[in-house]
């Protein structure tokens, strides 16, 4: 138990260090963006004195080094500041959008994870068969297709040609659970097509790799059916890489929704990020990027920890 706690502590410390580096990258990336918010807010007809007054009021006249530590200190206290464009609290803007993004990611995960694991196990069970080749071709096609291309194809066939599902996911706080599921079906399927392919191929590769192990050969010699060998012997020992790839793809489902949310006009955090960049609302951009970064780092840490817990041999590297 002490080795596990030590490992978790090391991973958490590394995650905090990574997050601190990410905050520096986010702040500097926003600083390097061209243009000036004060000039964009006042327009081309604004005088230099007016622009300077707005910059002083917003604190933009201070050095970047000072503004970074002021921003980081506020963030550590849970204060993301106010939006420069709407003067609303950023927490009020980000909160509902985070919920919408998490709902979409969870919807896609509920579809993608069981389907991917089932397809991967069956592909390993019927290796080199027509089914295996067909699934691999489909997976490669899904991986190679950009999200926006898959989204437009789905919209064309299921919203324009047949009108089975809405092409725009305009949900609100009053939208019911059933109506929300219907509106988000096409965005969820779009995300599923990409992430499911990665998980399926990793599941297949992990099981096939274990099928050459001595204990699997012994089970074959004893006459154990192939399906039982995979489900009872190979699959439990393949959990470490499978859990890792599932957690990483769950992170992608949350962080990689920007394009999908823009295509379907879904009011999630990705759409807010794009709108804020267009308005040069830098505090909202920084807060959105930070939420994405924290989510991705936490899920990566979770993947690392679960992989080690599912394979205790990783606690004692040779």
Per-residue model confidence (pLDDT) at position 310: 67
Higher pLDDT, 88 or 314: 88
Task: Report the DSSP beta bridge partners of residue 89.
Answer: 82
Higher pLDDT, 318 or 33: 33
Looking at residues 130-145, what average pLDDT do you find?
A: 81
The span from the CA of 24 to the CA of 315, in Å, is 32
Residues near 177 by beta carbon (within 8 Å), at least 6 away in sequence:
none
pLDDT in tens, 204-227: 877 777 777 777 777 777 777 777
pLDDT in tens, 80-122: 777 777 777 888 888 888 888 888 888 888 888 888 888 887 8
Indicate whether 58 pLDDT > 70: no
Percent of the chain with pLDDT over 70: 85
Indicate whether 266 pLDDT > 70: yes
Choose among 307, 156, 190: nearest CA to 240: 307
Indicate whether 245 pLDDT > 70: yes
Per-residue model confidence (pLDDT) at position 51: 66
Indicate whether 316 pLDDT > 60: no
The span from the CA of 165 to the CA of 56, in Å, is 49
Mean pLDDT is lowest, of 80-89, 235-244, 266-275, for: 235-244
The span from the CA of 98 to the CA of 94, in Å, is 6
pLDDT in tens, 20-41: 888 888 888 777 766 666 666 6
Higher pLDDT, 154 or 306: 154
Looking at residues 44-55, what average pLDDT do you find?
A: 68
Looking at residues 284-312, what average pLDDT do you find?
A: 79
Looking at residues 181-196, what average pLDDT do you find?
A: 84
**Domains and their CATH numbers in the chain:** 91-207+239-281 (1.10.3720.10)
The span from the CA of 172 to the CA of 191, in Å, is 21
Under DSSP, the state recorded for 316 is S
């Amino acid at each position: 138990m002490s080795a596990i706690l030590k490992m978790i502590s090391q991973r958490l410390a590394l995650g905090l260090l990574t997050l601190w580096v990410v905050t520096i990258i986010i702040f500097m990336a926003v600083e390097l963006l061209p243009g000036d918010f004060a000039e964009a807010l006042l327009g081309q007809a604004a005088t230099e004195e007016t622009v300077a007054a707005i910059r002083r009021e917003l604190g933009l006249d201070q050095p970047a080094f000072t503004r970074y530590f002021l921003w980081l200190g506020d963030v550590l206290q849970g204060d993301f500041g106010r939006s420069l464009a709407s003067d609303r609290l950023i927490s009020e803007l980000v909160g509902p959008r985070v919920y919408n993004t998490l709902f979409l990611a969870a919807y896609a995960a509920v579809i993608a994870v069981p389907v991917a694991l089932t397809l991967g196990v069956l592909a390993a069970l019927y290796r080199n068969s027509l089914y295996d080749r067909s699934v691999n071709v489909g997976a490669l096609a899904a991986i190679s297709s950009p999200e926006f291309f898959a989204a437009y194809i789905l919209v064309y066939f299921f919203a324009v040609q047949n009108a089975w599902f809405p092409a725009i996911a305009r949900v609100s706080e009053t939208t019911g659970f059933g109506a929300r599921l219907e509106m988000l079906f096409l965005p969820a399927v779009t995300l599923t097509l990409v992430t499911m392919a990665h998980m399926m191929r990793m599941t297949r590769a992990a099981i096939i790799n274990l099928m050459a192990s001595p204990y699997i050969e012994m089970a074959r010699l004893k006459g154990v059916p192939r399906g039982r060998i995979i489900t009872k012997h190979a699959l439990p020992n393949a959990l470490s890489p499978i859990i890792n790839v599932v957690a990483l793809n769950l992170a992608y489902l949350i962080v990689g929704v920007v394009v999908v949310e823009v295509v379907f006009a879904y009011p999630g955090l990705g759409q807010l990020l794009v709108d804020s960049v267009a308005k040069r609302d830098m505090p909202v951009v920084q807060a959105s990027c930070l939420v994405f970064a924290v989510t991705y780092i936490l899920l990566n840490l979770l993947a690392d920890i679960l992989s080690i817990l599912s394979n205790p041999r990783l606690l004692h590297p040779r």
